[in-house]
């Protein structure tokens, strides 16, 4: 275990578990009902130092890495998956800065995020550019020394609560592969506003909004990396780093649902015995447990690949995001089944897990996109299998090379 999960990751997981047990779980229903940003929880996470986990030490963080981030997200999500993403989305928003920011930008923007004093959001998706992220229409045009940003972003998680926004915009519409650049937009800048606030099925503790950029002016100091054209590549690298975090949210969610289902199965009596004594319930519990553990270790493997700079990170990140979020949906649905009619009722804690699970299969790349990324990378790697060709009869495959 320790080869993948460092002492620092275990430590930050324990810190998160303490906050989750003391503060997050008792407030989970309240914020699900209110659909308001849970500032009282955010303050506890900041006081515990949790916003510095993924940020390098040089910029005020703990430099504990992505496995540690995943351990924290998992523990928070076990108590409330909405709080899990409310926290994790700050990593998503700040990864482009960590990956590609200039020294001056990192020194300016990262320390307040690490302290939990400023929150950050990630503005990539648009109404007409979801899975096709590169098809965005938001434009940033150079006027004198400034860049002027015009457009609208959709599904900005943390929007409104956040002070900083990493915004992707088209800077060179003629270019095929260097069309897009990323900018830091600060709350309060003229021309920046929050549009529609979404009313969601799940993850109701975190706001998801439209963000509008109506002639927002920024200088080169706010152009990520100080250079235009690398925005799409940086957004993809960011998603490689962030998808294990969504997968960790799914693992925590599935574990939280399993915890309640297991407890309930041992206490609920039918036909004169606890329902956990019935083989059909045992089969469900065993299936849920095996899948949660498999998902968990795939998440740690992908996150440690990010920490180690492994070249296979894109495929692993997509695999863990796909697998863990499918597990979260399946396990939370089975947990509701084990609770029976009570599970369907809102005064029991279990239906929330099922509602929260659905979005994990959709955001940070729908699972169909994850499978596309996995397959593309598998096919790229297929040449490593050429040495096995001698075991495949060639006569039935007329297109094989002689
Ligand atoms: N790392 C580095 N570079 C990468 C890369 C990666 N993982 N993936 C692609 N690139 C590079 C390619 O090498 C290529 O570069 P060149 O032009 O120099 O060759 C360039 O990026 C374009 O790549 P593709 O041709 O593969 O791009 P595509 O248009 O076919 O799209 C895609 C690929 C995988 C479908 C991508 O659009 C994608 O991931 N879509 C899903 C978007 C997504 O996940 N959105 C989630 C938003 S965030 C969110 O949901 C968060 C929230 O609210 C909580």
Nearest CA to ligand 1 atom 47: 364
Angle at which helices 81-100 and 25-34 cross, to 10°: 90
**Cβ 175 under 6 angstroms from ligand 1:** no
| Any atom of ligand 1 within 6 Å of the Cβ of 177 | yes
Is position 388 within any domain? Answer: no
With respect to residue 163, please indicate whether it lies within any of the assigned structural domains.
yes
32 in any annotated domain: yes
For 316-348, what is each residue's pLDDT tens digit? 999 999 999 999 999 999 999 999 999 999 999
Residue-wise pLDDT for 24-46, tens only, equals 999 999 999 999 999 999 999 99
Question: What pTM value is reported for the model?
Answer: 0.96
Residue 397 binned pLDDT confidence (cut-offs 50, 70, 90): low
143 and 111 share a domain? no
325 lines ligand 1 (CB under 6 A): no
The residue assigned the tokens 């699972």 is 367
| Cα torsion 136, 142, 147, 148: sign | negative
Spot the catalytic one: 36, 364, 381, 395.
364
Euclidean distance between CA atoms 280 and 266, whole angstroms: 14
Domain end residue (candidates: 201, 229, 257)? 229
Of 179, 174, 120, 185, give the one whose Cα is nearest residue 150: 185
Ligand 1 pocket, residue 45 CB under 6 Å: no
Residues 92 and 28 in one domain: yes
Question: Are 375 and 272 found together in one domain?
Answer: yes
CA of 376 to the centre of ligand 1 (A): 12
Which residues are CB-neighbours of 293 under 8 A, at least 6 positions away? none
Rounded to a whole number of angstroms, the distance between the first and last alpha carbons of the chain is 47
Q: Is 364 a catalytic residue?
A: yes
Same-domain pairing of 237 and 225: no
The CATH number that applies at residue 326 is 1.20.140.10
Containing domain of residue 347, as a range?
Answer: 233-382
Same domain, 175 and 209: yes
For atom 11 of ligand 1, which residue has the closest CA? 233
């Amino acid at each position: 275990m320790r080869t993948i999960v460092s002492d620092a990751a275990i430590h930050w997981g324990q810190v998160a578990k303490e906050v989750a047990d003391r503060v997050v779980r008792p407030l989970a229903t309240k914020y699900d009902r209110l659909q308001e940003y849970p500032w009282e929880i955010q303050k506890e996470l900041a006081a515990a130092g949790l916003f510095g986990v993924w940020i390098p030490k040089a910029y005020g963080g703990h430099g504990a890495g992505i496995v540690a981030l995943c351990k924290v997200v998992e523990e928070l999500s076990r108590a409330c998956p909405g709080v899990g993403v409310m926290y994790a989305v700050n990593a998503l928003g700040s990864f482009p800065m960590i990956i590609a920011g200039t020294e001056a930008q990192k020194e300016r923007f990262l320390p307040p995020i690490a302290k939990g004093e400023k929150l950050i959001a990630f503005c990539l998706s648009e109404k007409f550019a979801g899975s096709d992220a590169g098809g965005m229409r938001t434009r940033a045009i150079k006027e004198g020394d400034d860049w002027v940003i015009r457009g609208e972003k959709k599904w900005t998680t943390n929007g409104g609560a956040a002070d900083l926004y990493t915004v992707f915009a088209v800077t060179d519409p003629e270019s095929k592969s260097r069309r897009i650049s990323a900018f830091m937009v600060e709350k309060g800048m003229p021309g920046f506003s929050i549009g529609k606030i979404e009313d969601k099925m799940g993850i109701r503790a975190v706001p998801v909004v439209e963000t509008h950029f109506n002639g927002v002016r920024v200088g080169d100091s706010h152009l990520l990396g100080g250079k235009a054209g690398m925005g799409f590549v940086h957004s993809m690298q960011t998603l490689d780093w962030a998808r294990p975090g969504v997968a960790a949210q799914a693992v925590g969610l599935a574990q939280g649902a399993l915890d309640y289902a297991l407890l309930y199965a041992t206490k609920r009596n039918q036909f004169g015995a606890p329902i956990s004594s019935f083989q059909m319930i045992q089969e469900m519990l065993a299936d849920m447990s095996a899948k949660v553990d498999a998902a968990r270790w795939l998440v740690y493997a992908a996150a440690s690949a990010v920490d180690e700079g492994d070249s296979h990170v894109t495929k692993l990140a997509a695999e863990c995001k796909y697998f863990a979020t499918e597990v979260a949906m399946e396990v939370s649905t089975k947990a509701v089944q084990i609770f029976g009619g009570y599970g369907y009722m809102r005064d029991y804690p279990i239906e929330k897990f099922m509602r929260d699970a659905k979005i994990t299969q959709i955001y940070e790349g729908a699972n169909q996109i994850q499978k596309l990324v996995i397959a593309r990378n598998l096919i790229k790697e297929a040449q490593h299998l050429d040495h096995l060709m001698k075991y495949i009869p060639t006569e039935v495959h007329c297109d094989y090379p002689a």
